[in-house]
Amino acid sequence: MYGVLLGFHILVCFALVLAVLLQSGKGGGLAGGAFGGTAQTVFGGRGATDFLTRATMVLGAAFFATSLVLALMSTNQRGSTRSLLQEEARKALPTAPQQGQGTGAPAQTPPSQAPTAPPPAGNPTPATPPPGGGR
C-alpha cells in the first residue's frame, strides 16, 4: 500500500511541476501592484481560471494529501511512544551490574581514591630564586 501511494505521489509531483511550468505569465501580478500598479493586477487580471490553473490547484491539493498520508504511514505507530531523545538517552546509560543477584561472588567496591604517583627522582629545583639576587 505504501509503495503504491509513494508511486502516485511521485506522479503527482511531476504533473504539478509540469502544470506550473506550462502556465503563461499573468503580467504584473503582486509585484506590479506593489510598485504602482492597479489593485486589479494584485489579485490577477482575469476572474475566470483556465485548465492549467485548475489543474495546478487540484494537483497541489493531491500533493498535500499524499504528503500527509505518507508522513502518517511512515511513523511507527505500533512501536513504543518514546521519542528519539529518550531512546538515545537509554542507549547512552551504562548498564551497571545489579547488586544482590545471588551469583555467589562477593560484590566488588570501587576504590575510594586513585593511586598517587611517586615523587620525581633526583634533586628538586627550588621554585624561587635564592635571596640576594643569585650573584
Q: Is the pTM above the cut of 0.75? A: no
What is the Cα–Cα distance from 26 to 45, expressed in whole angstroms?
7
Structural domain contains residue 41: no
**In this predicted structure, what is the pLDDT of residue 80?**
58
How many separate domains does the chain show?
Answer: 1
Structural domain contains residue 4: yes
Structural domain contains residue 29: no
Structural domain contains residue 42: no
Question: pLDDT tens digit string along 107-122?
Answer: 565 555 555 666 666 6
Structural domain contains residue 62: yes
Between 8 and 42, name the one with better pLDDT. 8
Q: Which domain holds residue 17?
A: 1-24+49-76
Structural domain contains residue 113: no
Q: Indicate if the pLDDT at residue 67 is higher than 90.
A: yes
**34 neighbors 41 (Cβ within 8 angstroms):** no
Structural domain contains residue 109: no
Q: Indicate if the pLDDT at residue 7 is higher than 90.
A: yes
C-alpha cell at 12: 503527482
Per-residue pLDDT, averaged over 15-32, amounts to 76
Structural domain contains residue 9: yes
